[in-house]
A and B are shown apart, each in its own frame.
Chain A
Amino acid sequence: MSDFKMPALGADMEAGTLVEWLVRPGDRVKSGDVVAVVETQKGAIEVEIFQQGVVSNILVPVGERVPVGTVLAQIDGARGAAPPPSIEPAIAALKPAPLRPIVAAPSSRLKITPAARRRATALSLDPTMIVKGTGVEGSIRLADVETYASGAKLAQRPAKKGLDLSQMRQAIAAAMSHSKREIPHYYLTEMVDLHAASTWIEQYNAEKSPVERILPAVLFLKAAALALREQPQLNGAYENGAFTPASDVHVGWAIALRGGGLIAPAIRDTDRKSLAELMAAMRDLVERARRGNLRSSELTSPTITVTSVGDRGAESVTGIIYPPQVAIVGFGRAVARPWVVDGRIESCPLVTVSLAADHRVTDGHVGGLYLAAVARLLQEPEKL
């Protein structure tokens, strides 16, 4: 018997609401199966399991909000594959002085008195919408439910599968404030000649059908990933005062969402995928991110983040590291500029590549070598 727990789907996640079970007791599961859907500040996430066995008990009913680490279900005869790298320590770091009551797990559950909960059920209103309880220890009590029920409009509950952008804004705010506060960033930029890359892409795409064509961003992604092999100090996690390099390269690809918000799910083994595979992975991720259908492993496994602002973005971007990662690579908009080639001035497509890295782990020297490697790799696009 082993436990399947509420995963931490981000450094900023404390709790999630279980919105759907995709398995039932008695179902056989294997590592990688999507077993549940969890609503977080980042929207509804399909949660995978990393054990193999038979679901014996489902412990958390649909609709319940539980803290990270709560046992959601029990798996019989489980043989575990290693769970994906967890970022729970980063959560601890996010809250410098957490008030930990003696009763551990249920403490961050919704504090609502039994009478109030029953009343809320009778009125079919969602007590989690009541932000402020006036009861003992800030609990929601009967009067709060009544006030809420009578008080003006019953705010429509957000669609179960979807994104609450204001919540996501809060999540981004928390993670980025934490990053800026805790991580000593250093920043480097490098202007890279895209002449070879754009020529190569034009030729490549000319022979391809529209769906097979690739974007320059794919070259950037692959180059950024491959360069990490040379500077593995930028790929991994800084947790509990120590850096742990990642054995694989899973690049978190920053995706802007319509209406605001940002999410950076992982493209696993970025350095080992072909350009075509990367293009497909990017398309798939963007589509699912905007639908709010990402998987738990995609949110928990990035080892570094790459952000590419694309054709409509600014000339350069210097990112803020997403903890517990230690670096973020930014690609600005490709622009035509005068450039000195063999002592002559030519018009040349250029991109500003930036690196923001954690100074506790590396120094500018490593960062500089990394950017140089990215630039070098982009000169031979056919080898990517």
Chain B
Amino acid sequence: MNAPQATAASTRLTYREACKQALREALLSDPRVFLMGEDIGRYGGCYAVTKGLLEEFGEERIRDTPLSESAFVGAGVGAAMAGMRPIVEIMTVNFSLLALDQILNNAVTIPHMSGGQFAIPLVIRMATGGGRRVAAQHSRSLEGWYAHIPGLRVLTPATVEDARFMLKGALADPNPVIIFEHVMLYNMEGDFPSDMKEVDIARAKVRRAGRDVSLITYGGSLFKALQAADALAAEGIDAEVVDLRVLRPLDTKTILNSVARTRRCVIIDEGWRSGSISAEVGMRLAEEAFFELDAPLRRVCSREAPIPYAAHLEDACLPQAATIVIVARELVRPS
């Protein structure tokens, strides 16, 4: 991770630990908060994020659920309506489709259809993305689909500090929020200032400043983009890396400002290209930054296929730093 050297005034954590500390802080600070999900209690969560929380907070607040996403997300919607602050974990985005009806037709719709009488302060966490060699049904990147739904806030913490503090902001939002945690990030370590207490959940963030091309990305692809930027820097190409962080509502301003500076843009998205969040970002640039552009907009997305099991095929399917380098280089220095 490209964080600065740890100093006395910084905290070093893994992404997994950051997620857990965020959950602990939420549970400690608000008695209305409780967790629900498959295997989050006794097993400690399939990515070990909730390990130990059951012992600390008890069965009332750390609830193992049956394998029925529709049922326990629906229960979360009901609990939120009733004044609780449920944090629901869906093992991976692949299984969230079973709960899509609850999310789309209830969680985001009830506040609107009740004329504002009901808020749904529900937080749903789910793992997303490929790279763990667990084949097609466990490797989807569908966060772009959720970013399509008005009424949802969609967060994609990519750094340890965002993993640590975005949950707090999500719980403060009276409307449903989905937090996507990329499966390849849990083991990553990073630093953040010890006095940090919160992060912005409204704005994208420039993770690396540059003049020549904007690499716009989020989640698991952020580090590939940063790697690519390092490689490009060695060639004398100064890439700016923008972390979207919030896929909905999208922070158009930060993106536009970046591209207005660099005039070139590669969007990196682990989702499939057609109809993806990268398509949305690109279109907004076409609509609002057209006259700033000095090169065509480009994208690096996943191959439009089910993600394969075999390592070399999976790697070939997903966006990689090397591909980003090639695409960015072509924009800055056409052959």
Chain A positions near chain B (C-beta within 8 angstroms): 113-118, 134-139, 141-143
Is the Cβ of B294 less than 8 Å from the Cβ of A113? yes
B125 CB to nearest chain A CB (Å) = 40
- CB pair A114–B331 under 8 Å, yes or no, is no
Question: Chain A contact residues: over half helix, strand or loop, or mixed?
Answer: helix
Using CB atoms and an 8 Å cutoff, list the residues of chain B in contact with chain A: 263, 290-296, 330-331, 334
A111 to chain B, nearest CB (A): 10
> Are A141 and B294 interface neighbours, CB within 8 A?
yes
| CB neighbours of A118 from chain B (8 A) | 291
Q: A115-B263, A142-B263 are in contact. Are A135 and B334 (CB under 8 A)?
A: yes
Q: Roughly how many angstroms separate A255 CA and B291 CA in the complex, as a whole number?
A: 46
- Some 9 contacts from A to B, beta carbons below 8 A apart, are A113-B294, A113-B295, A115-B263, A115-B291, A115-B294, A118-B291, A136-B330, A137-B334, A138-B334
Total number of A-B contacts with CB less than 8 angstroms?
A: 34
**Smallest Cβ-Cβ distance to A140: which chain B residue:** B294
Q: Chain B residues with Cβ under 8 A from A114's Cβ?
A: 290-294
Q: Is the interface of B mostly helix, strand, loop or mixed?
A: loop
Instruction: Indicate if the CB atoms of A135 and B294 lie closer than 8 Å.
Output: yes
CA distance A134 to B334 in the complex (A): 7
Closest chain A residue, CB of each to CB of B330: A136
Chain B residues contacting A113 (CB-CB under 8 Å) are: 263, 293-295
Give B292's nearest chain A residue, CB to CB. A115
Query: Are B295 and A135 neighbours in the complex by a CB distance under 8 Å?
Result: yes
Do A136 and B334 touch across chains, with their CB atoms under 8 A apart? yes
Measured in the bound complex, the distance between the Cα atoms of B331 and A114 in whole Å is 15
The distance from the CB of A112 to the nearest CB of chain B, in whole angstroms, is: 10
Cα distance A74–B291 in the bound complex, in angstroms? 28
Give CA–CA (A382, B296) in the complex, Å. Answer: 69
State whether A136 touches B291 (Cβ < 8 A): no
Q: Which residues of A contact B334 (CB under 8 A)?
A: 134-138
Instruction: Please report the C-alpha to C-alpha distance between residue A138 and residue B334 in the assembled complex, in whole angstroms.
Output: 8
Report the Cα distance A382→B331, complex, angstroms: 72
Distance in Å: Cβ of B10 to nearest Cβ of chain A: 40
A-side contacts of B296, CB under 8 Å: 136
> B290 — which chain A residues lie within 8 A by C-beta?
114
Tell me, rounded to whole Å, the shortest Cβ–Cβ distance linking B165 to chain A.
37
Known contacts A136-B330, A136-B331; A116 and B294 CB within 8 A of each other: yes
A23 to chain B, nearest CB (A): 31
The chain A residue with its CB closest to the CB of B289 is A114
Distance in Å from the Cβ of A109 to the closest Cβ of chain B? 15
The complex places the Cα of A255 from the Cα of B263 at a distance, in Å, of 50
**Which residue of A114, A116, A137, A138 has the most chain B CB atoms within 10 A of its CB atom?**
A114
Instruction: Give the 7 A-B CB pairs with smallest separation, nearest first.
Output: A115-B294, A142-B294, A113-B294, A114-B291, A141-B294, A136-B334, A118-B291
Of all chain B residues, which has the CB nearest A134?
B334
Taken together as a complex, chains A and B put the C-alpha atoms of A330 and B269 apart, in Å, by 68
Q: Which residues of B contact A142 (CB under 8 A)?
A: 263, 294
Q: In angstroms, how far is the closest chain B Cβ from the Cβ of A79?
A: 40
Q: Which residues of B contact A136 (CB under 8 A)?
A: 295-296, 330-331, 334
CA distance A134 to B294 in the complex (A): 11
- Tell me, in angstroms, the Cα distance from A136 to B263 when the chains sit together: 13
Which residue on B lies nearest to A118, using beta carbons?
B291
B295 to chain A, nearest CB (A): 5
Most buried by A among B330, B331, B334: B334
| Complex Cα spacing A143 to B292, Å | 13
Q: Which residue of B lies closest to A138 (CB)?
A: B334
B286, closest chain A residue (CB):
A114
Q: Within the assembled complex, what's the spacing in Å between the Cα atoms of A303 and B114?
A: 79
Chain B residues whose CB sits within 8 angstroms of the CB of A135 once the complex forms? 294-295, 334
Instruction: List A contacts of B292 (CB < 8 A).
Output: 114-115
Q: Which B residues touch A139, using CB under 8 A?
A: 295
Residues of chain B lying within 8 A (CB to CB) of residue A143: 294
For the complex, give the distance between the alpha carbons of A138 and B331 in Å: 11
Residues of chain A lying within 8 A (CB to CB) of residue B263: 113, 115, 142
Residue in B closest to A133 when the chains form the complex, CB atoms:
B334
Q: How far is B296's CA from A136's CA once the two chains are assembled, in angstroms? A: 7
CB distance from B104 to the nearest CB of A (A): 36
